[in-house]
Amino acid sequence: METDTLKPSRLNDLKAGAGHTTSEVPPRCLRWVLVAAQALPSDDKCGKRNQPCHPTLPEHEPSTSKSPWRTVDATGIIPEQSCEETLNAPPSAGRHSRGTWEGSEAHSTMDLDFMLVAGTRPNFVKLAPLYRALAARKGPRLMITHTGQHYDHAMSGSFFEELGVPEPEVNLEVGTGSHAQQTAGIMVRFERLLDSHTPRWVVVFGDVNSTIACALVAAKAGVPIAHVEAGLRSRDWTMPEEINRVLTDRLSDRLYAPSRDACENLVHEGISTERVRLVGNIMVDTLRAQLPTIDHATLLREYEIKARHYVLVTLHRPSNVDHPDTLRQLWTAMQEAGRREPVLFPAHPRTRSRAVEFELPPATAGFRLLGPLPYRTFLGLMANARVVVTDSGGVQEETTALGVPCVTARLNTERPITVIEGTNRLVRPHASSLLEALAQADGRRGRIPELWDGQTAERIAADLLEASSGA
Ligand code: UD1
């Protein structure tokens, strides 16, 4: 039977302009000579090629987000609120923070070197090692700002505790909204914060609404921006994250890329090589630091599972969970797989609420629906899984770093290196395709991409300090 998974043969069917296939990796890609934390060679001609290496499947579904506009208040309740009300009214003192966005006394205007901004679960995992690397150098004055995009303890506060990072000094408490409402809400609040706390650099992470909102404000305030995880591209303009990536990179002064294909994307878009650094994957720093602290035997006992005999699932992309038919397909596949081996599904709040809305069948003994998990618990479950099913960007990378097979229920990926070098496989989000991919998931270990060595934060910290001393 023909599978819907991404295979080298299938890669050759790519639409023109959609990217390079595995076998079509342009020779010049291999000629990138790049020393960690050094500028890309400015005479490199990669930017003149048509497209960098980039696996994808040839179709995609439009994404729709229909979150109601809500924001958090001091009580922790999330009331329905008008956009105008929320933009005009300052939010209350932050949970997961030591101060409000306007009232922080932590720093006065001129004594701050780096403001590290994060808003969502994956941002916190990227921020933690860089904060530690900068703090260890003792000299730089740091401040963490939380936009409040994620606000539940399980999605936010627990990460700061677990990863050993101090609570953010400021929480903008933007909460949930449509894309425009959330992005604009962060911008208004962050702009006011920058009036009183002007850092020498603003550091943003990843591709979420918080990333672009703060980058846009910083750029107009004339504050240099460093973007950690620059250059990733899915070429899927229906993905809100793709828009955030492209725009954030365009605004940034220092672009820290996790892989060579990301560097090539940037150069292809005309970004000066002087601003780009290949530093490796900062999530791997956190993964490597935390993995040895996990008691795997206890974890497996707690969840009543055996190593390599269960499937771990995480799905939250609007393109998968906001469409009843697609989510039903995924749900059916997981229920079916749960008849053969335990399927553990820690569901994102978005996914859980859609499952209720679409009246999907309840979990079964084999298909176990869980709440969002703390970082270390999720990492331990990933490390011991037979296979992981996901649509998350970070999980594609983490499974590659762990050497655990990964089935990504998406038609494209902004992280092609996880397919080309790692353990990842793209699969159409249909029940039959997913079940087939699960049955075929072998023990392919892949190889660890260049510079995914746990030292990325050190490279960024060294470069940022150098950039800041020259600024
Ligand atoms: C966001 C990012 C996505 C990232 C994901 C990680 C954007 C455009 N998307 O998507 O790239 O992969 O975070 O999780 O920025 N919710 C809660 N509690 C929370 C946070 C969210 O209940 O702590 C609910 C919200 O009420 C909303 C839904 O989850 O209904 C979506 O939250 P939102 O932050 O808008 O986007 P994510 O889907 O989490």
pLDDT recorded at residue 413: 98
| Residue from 350, 395, 410 to probe ligand 1 pocket by mutation (most atoms less than 8 Å from CB) | 350
Domain ranges of the chain: 83-252, 290-440
Q: Whose CA is nearest to atom 9 of ligand 1?
A: 208
pLDDT attached to residue 445 = 78
Which atom of ligand 1 is least distant from the CA of 78?
26
Each residue's pLDDT tens digit, 17-69? 233 222 222 323 322 323 333 444 443 333 333 344 455 553 333 333 322 22
281 Cα–ligand 1 center, Å: 22
Interacting residues of 404 by C-beta distance below 8 A, sequence separation 6+: 382, 383, 385, 387, 388, 423
Q: Which residues of 207-237 are buried (b: 16+ CB within 10 A; e: fewer)?
A: bbbbbbbbbbbbbeeebbbbbbbbbbbbbbe
> What atom in ligand 1 is closest to the CA of residue 209?
15
Distance 83 CA to ligand 1 centre (A): 18
Measured at the alpha carbon of residue 451, what is the angle toward residues 421 and 140, in degrees to the nearest 5? 145
Task: Return the pLDDT at 160.
Answer: 93
User: Span 83-252: which CATH code?
Assistant: 3.40.50.2000
> Which stretch of DSSP H or E encloses residue 388?
strand 387-390
Q: What is the pLDDT of residue 109?
A: 55
pLDDT attached to residue 7: 33
- pLDDT under 70: residue ranges of the chain: 1-110, 471
Q: DSSP for 128-197, please give it.
A: HHHHHHHHHTSSS-EEEEE--SS-SGGGTHHHHHHHT-PPPSEE-------HHHHHHHHHHHHHHHHHH-
> Which is the closest atom of ligand 1 to the Cα of 149?
34
- Residue 149 buriedness (CB in 10 A; 0-12 / 13-18 / 19+): buried
Where residue 29 falls (left for φ over 0; alpha for ψ -120 to 50; beta otherwise) is alpha
> Rounded CA gap, 418 and 422, in Å?
4
Domains 83-252 and 290-440 share a fold: yes
Ligand 1 binding site (Cβ under 6 Å of any ligand atom): 67, 120-122, 149-152, 155-156, 176, 208-209, 240-241, 316, 348-350, 392
Choose which CATH entry (3.30.470.10, 3.30.460.10, 3.40.50.300, 3.40.50.2000) describes domain 290-440.
3.40.50.2000
According to the model, what pLDDT value does residue 56 have?
53
β-sheet with 387-390: strand ranges across: 367-370, 343-346, 311-314, 387-390, 406-408, 424-426
Residues with a known catalytic role: 316
